[in-house]
């Protein structure tokens, strides 16, 4: 099963989503409900009161209402939901990409919190927390019995406040108590490195900082590789669950000189919004060749980027079928600081294709073998497998998605290796390099 990693400084990722934020009251008034609707609401009120009065144990009124609301929304599609004040705040924190925390990536193993890695120059790293450490207690409270999200929540907190972690470390003869002082953690939405004559950039999510991080990555790669030696770039969107729509547009724009990036279409046929690249003489990577990597973990905002660069013939897409989430959720603030996440539109690639339930089909399919210890487990991820998903216009019986696995060691990463071989001319394919003059546009 794909390793589930929680970023202590971020909490759980926002899920497969392309989101737009609405501040204030929605401008479109709801249609007046008919008499039959009011009768059904009266039945709901009657049931609510009977549950409160007669259920075997006294229920929590707030939970009853929240679960009723979520029941209504989840019946629409898998991505619409109600967020209470805490959940809405978590979402705002995640999309901002900057918050108070310790700076460690963690997972759950053997009922303990295991440190995957401390982030460089963060409070945890400075305090001596090491990769492979197991957190047994948080401020004296046993971790056993807590969920990963519960443990993460306890470790988050206000900046400049201390927290004591009781750690089990291999080779230590007794538990270690380490005090860490929380600080502002800035999550890097883009990780990059130089692979000899190729620039590699991995976008992990689309937060408010993604485009700025991408600009920095491109600039640093240019500093490290002379222009005449630089063969091109790899943009890795695998395992990227999505995020903010405007950031997906900005990232796409960085590699384009012109053209439509994406369009969204709402309930009203006239409700069409188009997002175009800024017209310019050159893109931010100076026209260098670009290969985009996708797999079953590439969803929504990452599919917007891959679809735009593929349709406009700016990049060759390599990997396996993407997740296939082609819907846009609008975040509408509600009273008491809660929020409504509501599916309000579907998005379409420049050629007019809907990705919903279909996904991005790579120009070059390269399967990534699963290691022996994971064989037999279902690593496939796809929108078409989700119960109650919106049926896509391009969706077929084949569905969407594919395996969502990326080897931790680049030496075993066949998709990345193939991308670099394409850029270096060691492999050839009719789709590489793409010809922008043959871009597929919606008429």
Q: Which residues participate in catalysis according to the annotation?
A: 300, 311, 325
Distance (Å, whole) CA 160 – CA 192:
30
Distance (Å, whole) CA 287 – CA 190:
20
137 and 166 Cβ atoms separated by less than 8 Å: yes
If 0-12 CB within 10 Å is exposed, 13-18 middle and 19+ buried, where does residue 385 land? middle
Comparing CA positions, the residue from 65, 15, 51, 18 lying closest to residue 336 is: 65
Phi, psi of 365 (to 5 degrees): -85, 125
Cα 204 → chain centroid: 7
233 and 412 Cβ atoms separated by less than 8 Å: no
434 and 314 Cβ atoms separated by less than 8 Å: yes
Distance (Å, whole) CA 7 – CA 101:
10
Q: Identify whether 286 is preceded by a cis peptide bond (ω within 30 of 0).
A: no
According to DSSP, the residues that pair with 99 across neighbouring strands are 185
Distance (Å, whole) CA 429 – CA 316:
10
Query: Got the DSSP string for 367-429?
Result: --PPPGGGTTS--EE-GGGSTTPPPPTT--TT-S-EE----SSGGG-HHHHHHHHHHHTSS-B
Cα 240 → chain centroid: 5
CA distances from 59 to 51, 68, 87, 336, 428 (A): 8, 13, 21, 21, 64
182 and 100 Cβ atoms separated by less than 8 Å: yes
- Maximum C-alpha span of the chain: 77
If residue 89 lies in a helix (H) or strand (E), which one and from where to where? helix 85-96
Distance (Å, whole) CA 18 – CA 345:
10
């Amino acid at each position: 099963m794909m390793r589930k990693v929680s970023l202590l400084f971020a909490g759980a990722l926002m899920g497969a989503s392309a989101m737009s934020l609405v501040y204030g009251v929605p401008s479109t008034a709801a249609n007046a409900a008919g008499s039959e609707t009011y009768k059904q609401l009266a039945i709901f009120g009657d049931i609510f009161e009977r549950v409160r009065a007669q259920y075997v144990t006294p229920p929590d009124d707030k939970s009853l209402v929240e679960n009723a609301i979520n029941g209504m929304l989840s019946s629409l599609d898998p991505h619409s939901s109600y967020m209470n004040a805490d959940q809405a705040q978590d979402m705002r924190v995640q999309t901002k990409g900057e918050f108070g925390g310790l700076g460690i990536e963690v997972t759950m193993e053997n009922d303990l919190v295991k440190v995957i890695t401390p982030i460089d120059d963060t409070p945890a790293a400075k305090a001596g927390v090491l990769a492979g450490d197991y957190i047994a207690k948080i401020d004296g409270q046993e971790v056993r019995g807590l969920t990963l999200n519960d443990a993460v929540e306890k470790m988050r907190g206000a900046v400049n406040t201390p927290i004591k972690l009781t750690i089990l470390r291999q080779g230590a003869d007794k538990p270690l108590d380490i005090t860490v002082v929380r600080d502002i953690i800035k999550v890097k939405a883009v990780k990059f490195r130089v692979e000899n004559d190729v620039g590699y950039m991995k976008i992990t999510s689309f937060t408010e900082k993604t485009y700025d991080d991408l600009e920095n990555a491109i600039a640093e790669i240019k500093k490290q590789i002379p222009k005449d030696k630089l063969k091109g770039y790899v943009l890795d969107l695998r395992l990227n669950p999505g995020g903010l729509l405007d950031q997906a547009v900005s990232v796409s724009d960085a590699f384009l000189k012109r053209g439509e990036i994406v369009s969204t279409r709402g309930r009203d046929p006239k409700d069409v919004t188009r997002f175009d690249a800024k017209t310019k003489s050159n893109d931010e990577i100076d026209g260098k060749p670009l290969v985009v990597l996708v797999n079953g973990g590439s969803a929504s905002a990452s599919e917007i980027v891959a679809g735009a660069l593929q349709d406009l013939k700016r990049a060759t897409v390599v990997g396996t079928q993407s997740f296939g989430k082609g819907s846009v959720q609008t975040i509408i603030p509600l009273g008491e600081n809660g929020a409504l996440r509501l599916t309000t539109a579907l998005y379409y690639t420049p050629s007019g294709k809907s990705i919903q339930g279909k996904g991005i089909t790579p120009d070059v399919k390269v399967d990534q073998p699963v290691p022996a210890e994971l064989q037999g487990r279902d690593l496939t991820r796809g929108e078409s497998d989700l119960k109650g998903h919106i049926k896509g216009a391009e969706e077929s019986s084949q569905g969407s998605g594919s395996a969502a696995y990326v080897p931790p060691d680049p030496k075993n990463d066949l998709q990345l290796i193939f991308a670099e071989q394409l850029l270096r001319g060691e492999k050839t394919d009719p789709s590489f390099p793409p010809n922008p003059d043959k871009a597929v546009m919606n008429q």
